[in-house]
Structure 1
Amino acid sequence: MDRRGLSAAVAALVLVGLVGAGSVVALGGAAPGGVGGLFGDASDPPALVAFDSAGAHCPEDFSANSSTSVSVGAANTEITYVRNVSLPGPSHAVGSPTFERLNESAYILDVPIEETGNATRSCSGAVRYNGTMRIPAGDDPWTLIVEHDGEPVTTLRGDSNRSLLGGSASVSGSASAPDSATNGTNTSA
């Protein structure tokens, strides 16, 4: 074996030894927020990937509740938040939400409650909305603040256990509201 062949063989053995010992070598650098390259997918940027709301209606018994589910992948974590909201008047509805990064691991989902200009119901009404947010998997532990018209109503905190094959998450939350009729949360992971 010549000198060039011997150097290549030694380099291959060193690489195999590093990977076998638990070290990951990323050729060209690691992807932001997660393991990239040959060993996983690169993280996608934070985003509100889906949002919908049911039409406002007049419920017989209003129940202010919410639920949270978290799906952890090698590159991204998806957080789905569902909430029932009591509206302030018969001409109000849920508007178009915004989702933004507050800092390295905190995010804000702001859901506006807007006046539509015409009273479409005989009561103040209630509506249920469902939003799914995507954050990079490396943003652990993470915080998601849910606001209505800029006022915090729920703060969720999570930490994901992930591997190259997927992961799991633990989530805790707290709720606040301007009045006790709309205060309630049911958080699960």
Structure 2
Amino acid sequence: MSRRGLAVVAVALALFVTGSAVALAGPVSGGPGGLFGGPSDPPALLHFDTDGVRCPDEFAANGSTSVAAGPRNTEITYARNVSLPGPSYAVGGPTFERLNESAYVLDVPIEEAGNASRPCSGVVRYNGTMRIPAGDDPWTLIVKQDGETVTTFSGDSDHSLLGGSTSVSGSVSAPAQTNGSANASGN
């Protein structure tokens, strides 16, 4: 085979190998079909629960957030204390919706649950874990209680074969307190 023939074969082989690797791996960004990550899962509320209602002397609206970036999805876990408006109220079933291409809303309702069974209005802590696709960077998560925004997080995840890291920033706004003894402190 001539030099020209060898060069053509080498170029064809290089294009075939490169094309096969890209077709198998997908985009390197880590988004849908990311490098060895496979397609991202759809956004979802993976877990939500509440602790038992307590009657503390003072209330602190403290919250906590953790974010885990993966090659296919980003998982955001958020927990917050809630001061209930009366002895017959409780945290209801939350909704988690995609607002636009990269913004999501977790809305946690406070509902009347029936007869007054506590000697106080009560405080409860809820904990929810949400999943968003890795390709939705940068992302925003808005947390609402009864339709009022209490926290907004923005993040940008860095995905690679060796894992992921996330930078997150947030802002907190305190809803109006329903009892005079409540002492609100931000996240």
**Aligned pairs for 1:97-108 within 5 A:** 97-108=94-105
Counterpart selection for 1:184 from 172, 176, 186: 186
- CA gap 1:55/1:100 in 2 versus in 1, 3 angstroms: same
Q: Indicate the percent of aligned positions where both proteins have the same amino acid.
A: 70
Report the count of equivalent residues: 180
Contact 1:35 1:75 in 2 (8 A): yes
Q: Displacement, 1:57?
A: 1.4
**Aligned pairs for 1:4-23 within 5 A:** 10-16=11-17
Q: Displacement, 1:36?
A: 1.9
Counterpart selection for 2:166 from 157, 162, 169: 169
1:50 aligns with 2:47: yes
Q: 2:126 aligns to what?
A: 129
1:92 aligns with 2:93: no
CA distance in structure 2 between the partners assigned to 1:118 and 1:69 by the alignment: 36
Q: Deviations over 1:108-164 (max 9, x none)?
A: 000000010111210010000000000001111110000011111110111111113
Q: 2:64 aligns to what?
A: 67
Which blocks of at least 5 consecutive residues in structure 1 are unaligned?
A: none
SS in 1 for 2:130: strand
SS in 2 for 1:42: coil
CA distance in structure 2 between the partners assigned to 1:38 and 1:171 by the alignment: 23
- CA gap 1:106/1:51 in 2 versus in 1, 3 angstroms: same
CA distance in structure 1 between the partners assigned to 2:59 and 2:171 by the alignment: 20
Q: TM-score, normalised by structure 1?
A: 0.83
Which blocks of at least 5 consecutive residues in structure 2 are unaligned?
A: 2-6, 178-182
SS in 2 for 1:154: strand
Amino acid at match of 1:152: T
CA distance in structure 2 between the partners assigned to 1:107 and 1:77 by the alignment: 13
* Two-structure CA RMSD over aligned residues (Å): 3.0
CA distance in structure 2 between the partners assigned to 1:11 and 1:126 by the alignment: 68
CA distance in structure 2 between the partners assigned to 1:47 and 1:88 by the alignment: 29
- CA gap 1:8/1:78 in 2 versus in 1, 3 angstroms: farther
Contact 1:26 1:36 in 2 (8 A): no
Amino acid at match of 1:125: G
Contact 2:34 2:72 in 1 (8 A): no
Q: Deviations over 1:35-76 (max 9, x none)?
A: 527722210000000000011110123221001100000000
Which aligned segments of 4 or more residues in structure 1 are displaced greater than 6 angstroms? Answer: none
SS in 1 for 2:23: coil
